[in-house]
Amino acid sequence: MLHILKYRAKCMFMNRPLMFWTLLFPLILTTLFGAVLRHAYDVTPYETISIAMIDNTAYQKNTTLQKTLKSLRMEDTPMFKVQEVSTKKGKQLLQKGDVDAMITIGDETTILVKETGIKQTMTQNFFDEYTQNEHMTMQLLADGSTSEQLMQIFTNTHDFIKTNNEENTNLSCIFFYTLLAMNALFGGYWAINSMYSLQANQSTTAARIAIAPTHKGLNLFIDLFLNIVFQMTILSIVFFYMYTILQVDFGNQLGFVVLAIFMGVLAGNGLGLLIGILLPQKDIGTKTGVLTSITMLGSFLAGMMMVQMKYLVQVHAPILAYINPVNMVTDALYSLYYYGVGERYYLNLFSLLIFSLLCYLICYRSLRKTRYQSLGVQ
């Protein structure tokens, strides 16, 4: 076993193309991101959203909404400034631009705006979420919850503020989180290479390994172990470069950051193995291209090219967020930074674990059942 371990490790170190794409390319891309995004999104104080609330019977009875609007804060700044007015007065304020939106509470909440913008969109998001979570909000208020605890209910609104309002947060963090997640998935290149070395119809080396007196599962385990160790080492270098040289903010819980990265590496290797086993007749270049396409699409949907895309996917197609391993890693780092270790963080890690286990299980069962009529390689 030790001989096989040394041999496979030597092969990995001598694979210059993969060394470039998994180590040098991420460092180059990270440097470019740092140069372009370093001061692109500087933090400035959050501006309170001013709304004209029509003072009708429905609003007067809805004490939960009144308390919620008064309680919500972004750090030390009130999220909303509410003026209780008549319909006529509300329209006048809106027309003059003295308020950002006019709200009418009834069987359905009506939001009237003079123009569209970030504040108007945040207002719409908040009232949509409030309608869905009114009972939970009522319970938290009854328990005397803090503004931070109350804000946990309105995650989409909070995320939109964080990712769309450049006056409130440093958006460049999201780009770096997604870049780190993409690099974790790039570990799948090593897994594809492993499958290429274990499938007897792919190369003469694989054919020799297939007839060697070693268990296929042992060969797969050794390669998987080396892949994970190797990719974690590479990502540790990239993470260290981001954190110390570029001073990307990952928060104070770095151990949990490393755990999220590790889960991303597991998922990346699992995806690479799965591609290798599901495309047995394709050459290694085709398999690598498939992994690259999947990873880049996942990175786009997670917000690497356009940070607002992460929010749009979460709101309009949430299923994509939960089947996209790049987004799972990104969102784990994102939630860890903004909310700390909590349910959202662990949900992403659990999703990554399930994704990885499914990939490994499919690969192992398929590899065990594979039989070759001839070990000759053309």
CATH code, domain carrying 89: 3.40.190
Report the half-sphere exposure of 268 (CA within 13 A, side-chain side): 35
Assess whether 80 and 15 both reside in one domain.
Answer: no
In whole angstroms, what is the distance from residue 344 CA to residue 327 CA?
A: 13
- In a domain? residue 216: yes
- In a domain? residue 251: yes
Instruction: Report which of 181, 224, 163 is spatially closest to residue 325, judged by C-alpha positions.
Output: 181
pLDDT in tens, 157-208: 656 665 554 434 456 788 899 999 999 999 899 899 888 776 655 666 655 5
**What average pLDDT does the chain have?**
82
How many structural domains comprise the chain?
Answer: 2
- In a domain? residue 199: yes
Instruction: Report which of 373, 13, 24 is spatially closest to residue 193, judged by C-alpha positions.
Output: 13
Assess whether 160 and 198 both reside in one domain.
Answer: no
- In a domain? residue 376: no
- In a domain? residue 377: no
Assess whether 201 and 140 both reside in one domain.
Answer: no
Assess whether 208 and 155 both reside in one domain.
Answer: no
pLDDT computed for residue 40 by the predictor: 56
Assess whether 128 and 197 both reside in one domain.
Answer: no
pLDDT computed for residue 274 by the predictor: 93
- In a domain? residue 374: no
Answer with the one of 164, 188, 220 that is the final residue of a domain: 164
Assess whether 36 and 60 both reside in one domain.
Answer: no
- In a domain? residue 375: no
The pairs formed by 218-223 with CB atoms below 8 angstroms and a separation of 24 or more are: 218/1, 218/4, 219/4, 220/194, 220/363, 220/364, 220/367, 222/1, 222/4, 222/5, 222/8, 223/8, 223/191, 223/194, 223/197, 223/198
DSSP 3-state of 128: helix
Assess whether 283 and 146 both reside in one domain.
Answer: no
In whole angstroms, what is the distance from residue 55 CA to residue 62 CA?
A: 11
- Full residue range of the structural domain in which residue 95 is found: 49-164
Assess whether 327 and 207 both reside in one domain.
Answer: yes
Strand pairing report for 101-104 and 80-85: unpaired
Instruction: Report which of 182, 147, 180 is spatially closest to residue 68, judged by C-alpha positions.
Output: 147
Assess whether 149 and 199 both reside in one domain.
Answer: no
Instruction: Report which of 181, 133, 113 is spatially closest to residue 334, judged by C-alpha positions.
Output: 181
Contact 163, 174 (CB under 8 A): yes
DSSP 3-state of 51: strand
DSSP 3-state of 77: strand
Assess whether 185 and 321 both reside in one domain.
Answer: yes
Assess whether 218 and 351 both reside in one domain.
Answer: yes
Answer with the one of 164, 197, 232 that is the final residue of a domain: 164
pLDDT computed for residue 165 by the predictor: 47
pLDDT computed for residue 339 by the predictor: 83
- In a domain? residue 340: yes
φ and ψ at residue 54, rounded to 5 degrees: -65, 120
Answer with the one of 164, 191, 212 that is the final residue of a domain: 164
Q: Which stretches in the chain have pLDDT values below 70?
A: 1-4, 7-8, 38-45, 75, 135, 141, 144-171, 198-217, 219, 369-378
Tokens 């060394």, residue located: 19
Tokens 């460049």, residue located: 172
Assess whether 290 and 195 both reside in one domain.
Answer: yes
pLDDT computed for residue 39 by the predictor: 59
Which tokens hold the place of 290? Answer: 């498939």
